[in-house]
Amino acid sequence: MNQRAPQGHNVVTQSLAQIGGCGLFLLTLLAAIPRSLRYFRETLRQLWFVGAMSLTIIMVCGLFIGMVLMLQLYHVLSIFGGTSASGLVVALAVYRELGPVVTALLFAGRAGTSITAEIGLMRATDQIDAMEMMAVDPIAYVATPRFLAGLIAMPLLACVFCAMAIFGGHLVGVTWLGIDNGTFWSNMTAVVDVHTDIVNGVLLKSLAFGAVVTLIAVYQGFTTPPTSEGVAYATTRTVVASSIAILALDFVLTAFLM
Amino acid sequence: MTDSARATPADSILVRVRGLTTVLGGKTIFDQLALDIPRGRITAIMGPSGTGKTTLLKHITGQMRPDAGEILVNGQNVPDMSREALYKMREGIGYLFQNSALLTDFDVFENVAFPLRQHTALPEVLIRSLVLMKLQAVGLRGAARLMPHELSGGMARRVALARAIVFDPQLILYDEPFVGLDPVALNQVLKLIRTLNQTLGITSVLVAHELAAVQQIAEHVFLIANGKVVAQGDPKSIAADGSPWTRQFFGGEADGPVPFQYPAGDYASELGFAGAAK
- Band of pLDDT at residue B4, cut at 50, 70 and 90: very low
Q: Residue A104: its pLDDT value, please?
A: 97
The nearest alpha carbon in chain B to A121 belongs to B104
Specify the DSSP class assigned to residue B264. Answer: -
- Band of pLDDT at residue B196, cut at 50, 70 and 90: confident
ipTM of predicted assembly, 2 dp: 0.82
| Cβ contact, residue pair B99, A135, below 8 Å | no
Weakest mean pLDDT among A185-189, B56-60, B229-233, B249-253:
B249-253
| Cβ contact, residue pair B97, A129, below 8 Å | yes
B76-77 sheet: strands from edge to edge:
B27-38, B13-24, B68-73, B76-77
pTM: 0.84
What is the distance of C-alpha A181 from the center of its chain?
Answer: 32
Q: Residue B230: its pLDDT value, please?
A: 86
Weakest mean pLDDT among A182-196, B149-163, B172-186:
B172-186
Q: What is the DSSP string of chain A?
A: --------SSHHHHHHHHHHHHHHHHHHHHHHHHHHGGGHHHHHHHHHHHTGGGHHHHHHHHHHHHHHHHHHHHHHHHHTT-GGGHHHHHHHHIIIIIHHHHHHHHHIIIIIHHHHHHHHHHHHTTHHHHHHHTT--HIIIIIHHHHHHHHHHHHHHHHHHHHHHHHHHHIIIIIIS---HHHHHHHHHHH--IIIIIIIIIIIHHHHHHHHHHHHHHHHHHHS-SSHHHHHHHHHHHHHHHHHHHHHHHHHHHHHH-
Would you say A97 and A183 are in contact if contact means Cβ atoms under 8 Å apart?
A: no
- Kind of pairing between the strands at B42-46 and B13-24: unpaired
Residues B251 and B258: their CA atoms lie apart, in Å, by: 12
Question: Which residues from A are below 8 Å from B when comparing CB atoms?
Answer: 2, 121-122, 125-127, 129-130, 132-137, 141
Q: Residue B2: its pLDDT value, please?
A: 43
Weakest mean pLDDT among A7-16, A151-160, B149-158:
A7-16
Which residues in chain A have Cβ-Cβ distances shorter than 8 Å to B98? 126
Would you say B107 and B146 are in contact if contact means Cβ atoms under 8 Å apart?
A: yes
Q: Residue A128: its pLDDT value, please?
A: 94
Q: Residue B3: its pLDDT value, please?
A: 43
Best mutation target among A28, A131, A134, A137 (most B Cβ atoms within 10 Å) is: A134
Greatest mean pLDDT among A197-201, A254-258, B243-247 lies in A197-201
For residues B187-197, average pLDDT: 87
